[in-house]
Every structure is written in C-alpha cells, then in structure tokens.
Amino acid sequence: MGQKKVAPKSDFSGYATKNGIKCKDGRTIMRDAFAECDGITVPLVWQHLHNEPSNILGHAILENREDGVYTYGVFNDTPNGQNAKIAVEHGDIKALSIYANELVEKSKSVMHGVIREVSLVMAGANAGALIENVSIAHGDGTETDLDDEVIIFTGLALEHADTSPADDSKTTGNDETVQEVFDTLSEKQKTVVYALIAEVSSQSEDDMAQSEDDDPDNTIKHTTGDKNMKQNVFDKTDPETNLESLSHAQFDSIISTAKECGSFRTSFLAHAVDYGIENIDYLFPDAKTLTNSPDMIQRRMEWVTVFMNGTKHTPFSRIKSVHADITAEEARAKGYLKGGLKKDEVITLLKRITTPWTVYKKQKLDRDDIIDITDLDVVAWMKAEMRVMLDEELARACLISDGRGVEDDDKISETNIRPIYKDADLYAHKVRVDADVEADEIIDAIIRARKEYKGSGNPVLFTTADFVNDMLLLKDTLGRRIYGTLAELEAALRVSKIVEVEVMEGVTRQSTDTTPVTLNLLGILVNLNDYTIGADKGGGISMFDDFDIDYNQYKYLLETRCCGALTKPKSALVIEQVATAG
C-alpha cells in the first residue's frame, strides 16, 4: 500500500468532478479520465470568465483519485480573490466547475481530457455532472479526439481549509459566527458590506409590504417602477420548482379553443399573450425552399422530345414535294393485240412547296432584379424555360397546329408549318368513327384502316391519356383485361409506340361535309421520318440578348425560322370520332 498523499496548504478543497456520473446528454465521466492532470496547478477563475485578468481569483492544485478529481484552491491577494475567499468561508459559494478540452469519447463515455481551469460558480447545473459540448460527437462507439471545449458542473460542496481531510466524501460546517467572520474583513471590505446593506435597506417599506401581501407563497414579482426582482439570490430552492407552468384550467381553455378553430397551434398562439410569449411566431425559423430554382407548373413534355428527335431535319428551309400519281387506271400496263395501236401512258404530277416561318420567344429582365436575386442564376433558369416552351410550340404546330385563330397576329401559318392533323387527304388519311361506338370498335376501325397507311416502317400513335385508358380498361366476357400491358396494346394496334400528348385533349374541328359535324381527335398514326423540318443556315434555334441602356434592362430573344410538312403521301392516319349531341 502506497503512502497517503499530504494535502497541500489551501484556502478550500473539494471535488472538481467525480467518476461514474451520467450527464443529461447521456455521457458518463470514466475513471482516470483526467489522470494526467494529477498534481498540476491550473488557474482558479470566477464563473469561467476569461476576458479580464481580474477574474482570476487564484490557483487550484488538482489531485486525481479513484472516485474523481479533487482540488485544493488557493486565493490570491487581489480584491476579487479576497472577496471570493470571504464568500467561500461564509458558505455563500459552494460549487465548483471545471473547463476542459482535448476530450476522447467512446460510446458516450469520456475516456480522456485535460482540465484547463477550475471555476467558482454560484451553483452547479445539477447534483451530478453536466457536459455541454460545442459540437456533436460520434455516437457509434468509435473513439474521436475532440477539439471541442467543455464545462463540467458537479454541484459538489467545497471543503474549507480547516476541515479535516480524513474523510474525502464528507464536509463539515463552519462553526464561526457572523461577527467572527466580519471581524476578519479589512476596512475596505467592511465598507463594501456597509454599502450593500444600505442598498438593500433603501427599498421602501410600501414596496416590501406590497410584495408580502401579494405574494404569500414567496414567488417572484416586480414592483411598479422597480426592474429588480425581490428574491434571495442565495435561495437554495430547486429552481425547476419555480418555473412557469400552465394550470389545468388554462390548458382546458386552450384545448377548447383548438376544437373550435381546428388547430392546436393556432389556439396556443391565441393564448400566448395570456400564458407565455406574445408574438411567439417571430421566433419561428424562416421557411426554406426545397429546390434552388422554382418548379415549373407545365404540361407533360415527354412527347415533345419524341417528336422533335423523330422528325427528319434538312439544312434548307424551302421544301418542294413532287409526286407522280400512278394509281390511275390509265397508268396500268396494257396488253397488245397484233396489228393494234399502242396507247401512250399519261402520268399526273403533283407538286407542293412549303416555305419557312419564324417562331420566337421573347423575355426581358431588369438588371437590378438580376443582381438582387442571389439564390439562383435567374438568367439561366429563364433561358431554359424559353427553350422548353419554344420546342413545345414547334412540336405542337407540326402535329395539330398551334390552335390560334387565323386572325391572331401570333398565329403560326399552317401553310408554312403544316400540321399533320389538318394536312390534305393526300398526305394524312382520315379515319372517322361514329359517336356511339366503344373503344373496342375504335380499335377495330384503326386496324382496318391500316391498309390506307403508305408511310415508312412502323408508325407511332400519338393520342390522349383518356383514349389509352379506355383501351386498357377493355375486358372480356369473364371480366379479365384484354390488354394486360401497354406493349400488348401496341402490338394489337400494329404501332411501334403509343405516346400520350396532353395538348391533344379536347381538340376538335368541323367537317367539310354538306352537313358539317364536329369531330373529336382521338389519335394520329405517323412515322416521324416522313415529316421534314427544314431550316437554312442561321435559321436554326438561336438565342440573342441585348442590354437597353435607357431602361436598364436585359432583353432575350429565342427564335427559329423553319418550315415543316409531310413529304410522303398517305404517310399518316388521323383517327376522329363524331361528337355526341350536346
């Protein structure tokens, strides 16, 4: 057994921290966590204040023990040091706290650290230890060297220098009387005590009586014109018992209001003025966007990519189509009878010329707005929107037309960019079904009309989501789906792909019959390789921008000058249904 250490001469002693104490955040100080601090001397500080030399009250000698770190405190001769010494001797200050860093933590257990100073504090955070880290440590069981600094409160009582160190786990009281302690003060210190007593005594008797009458339970209250609280600062009552709380009647009132307004949060805020913080919503954090740029509310655009990538593109913007009609009876080869006259063949030539048209998208932004918007690149975001909308408008004009009236100045000419839906019967064969037929009969009509299709390869069906759903919902007599997948439906219709086009919904036209009827568009079968989009050099999609000095604005123009048309006869089928009456 080793020789027992001799306690150094000190003004007081006590445990700076003890082992095996679980903190509120789940961490535990392990044995010998501060073993390397044994015997070292660290500053003795007031309330961990490091900003003034006057806050250093003396020094503390550390002693590592089996159950924690014991400290011996020595006050210096400064006025603050001597005042603190008196407060400790008088029993006014009984708690210690340590400041440590270079922590090593494993599975919520503090394994190692270095104590940098010991502080006198008014009271410990609780009866055990409390570690307040600056950052979050690992919780997966791995060891981590932390640069974070911590403050550990033990709440353990101090021992005065005249206390016997025989039993480290207990402390004894001071038998000195108030007069004996007061006699030890210097004249300057006694003057300070007189001033403190005079300040306390200067409170009016009316205010004191008011406090006693209105506060029989010794709770804290303010008096008129006095911002100080009438409370004993050395009151040892557990502060948690004096926290503000809601009574049962107040809580019932909040619940009743919540039932009326339908929101507990709204009800709580309505009663906040009575029970807590007025305008508490000022403390709520600001709302944050989930994305850096605004989400666009737009139509489904997948079909645009399919259409624009599938069409044929040429480097010239004037397309001339010449066709020789050899389907007439006169174009057939003929038999020859000896001695007879051989007849000449007459071939009918057909020609169509399509010239370009300009399609554009224009925007402008104030320079001030561009500078002030810092969360995103608003110019890049706006240019992306312009390109998306220009592509959709081009694809729409080529497939079904832009839908504007002929008198509209923004109309895209249908003789320059020819819509498949409205093209001549020579290029787009029309398939008409009656108003009262079901989806299965429409499928039959499409399959029968396939013989009229003279386009390249296997076509694509552009249609609406409603028509696709009607076909997929078809059932046999036993209630089973006829087409289990979209691929099965595509095979039945003899198309390579079915593409849903949102802008086709609700598209109608008037027939050219003697008695015109309204025809609803159901779908268009076409091989996009038979549709040509042409643009000269410089006529492709181009972006232009300019700055207007007079109005301090940036202006942006995205435009193209092109033409578009079917170039092969009978290369499309347009499926339409007669609209029902009413």
Q: Give the model confidence (pLDDT) of 23-56 as tens digits.
A: 545 677 788 888 899 999 999 998 888 888 888 9
pTM: 0.52
Mean per-residue pLDDT, 101-128: 75
179 vs 273, higher pLDDT: 179
Cα dihedral 129, 134, 135, 137, rounded to 10, equals -20
Kindly report, residue by residue over 424-463, the tens digit of the pLDDT: 999 999 999 999 899 999 999 999 999 999 999 999 999 9
Specify the pLDDT at position 105.
Answer: 79
Give residue 166's pLDDT band: very low, low, confident or very high (50, 70, 90). very low
Q: Retrieve residue 27's tokens.
A: 């961490």
11 class by beta-carbon count within 10 Å (0-12 exposed, 13-18 middle, 19+ buried): buried
Specify the pLDDT at position 581.
Answer: 66
| Residue partners of 102: CB distance under 8 A and separation at least 6 | 112, 113, 114, 145, 146, 147
Kindly report, residue by residue over 281-300, the tens digit of the pLDDT: 777 888 888 888 888 888 89
Q: Retrieve residue 254's tokens.
A: 């909040």
Query: Could you write out the three-class secondary structure of 226-292?
Result: ECCCCCCCCCCCCHHHHCCCCCHHHHHHHHHHHHHHCCHHHHHHHCHHHHCCCCHHHHCCCCCCCCC
| Residue partners of 157: CB distance under 8 A and separation at least 6 | 14, 94, 95, 171
For residues 316 and 533, give the distance between their C-alpha atoms in angstroms, rounded to a whole number.
9
Q: Does domain 12-183 have CATH number 3.20.16?
A: yes
Q: What is the three-class DSSP state of 419?
A: coil
Kindly report, residue by residue over 217-240, the tens digit of the pLDDT: 443 343 334 444 444 444 444 444
For residues 96 and 46, give the distance between their C-alpha atoms in angstroms, rounded to a whole number.
10
Q: Does domain 289-333+346-582 have CATH number 3.90.1150.10?
A: no
Kindly report, residue by residue over 370-418, the tens digit of the pLDDT: 999 988 899 999 999 999 999 999 999 999 999 999 899 999 999 999 9
Residue 164 has pLDDT above 60, yes or no: no
Minimum mean pLDDT range among 48-57, 90-99, 186-195: 186-195
Residue extents of the structural domains in the chain = 12-183, 249-283, 289-333+346-582
Q: What percent of the chain has pLDDT over 70?
A: 73
What is the chain's mean pLDDT, rounded? 79
Token pair 């839908």 in the structure block, residue: 403
In eight-state DSSP terms, residue 540 is S
